[in-house]
Amino acid sequence: MNATVNENCIGCGLCAGTCPEVFHMGDDGLAHGSGIPEGQLEAAQEARDGCPVSAISIEA
């Protein structure tokens, strides 16, 4: 499973704070996603659901 962050990201950092194993803030001030490690799917989904601009998608 992979988490991706699209161009709607406003750089609020909520996802990185909620699930730092999957999301990080880049030098561009925006969030970036990665592969979802085993046991982190629920936290990644929580970050996706909490995103204020719906910029996160999770795909198999």
Domain containing 12 equals: 2-59
Q: Please give the backbone phi and psi of residue 32, each rounded to the nearest 5 degrees, phi first.
A: -135, 140
- Gap between the Cα atoms of 39 and 26, Å rounded: 24
Instruction: Give per-residue pLDDT as tens, 7-55.
Output: 999 999 999 999 999 999 999 999 999 999 999 999 999 999 999 999 9
Q: For the chain, what is the domain count?
A: 1
- Gap between the Cα atoms of 52 and 60, Å rounded: 23
CATH number, position 38:
3.30.70.20
Q: Please give the model's pTM, rounded to 2 decimal places.
A: 0.95
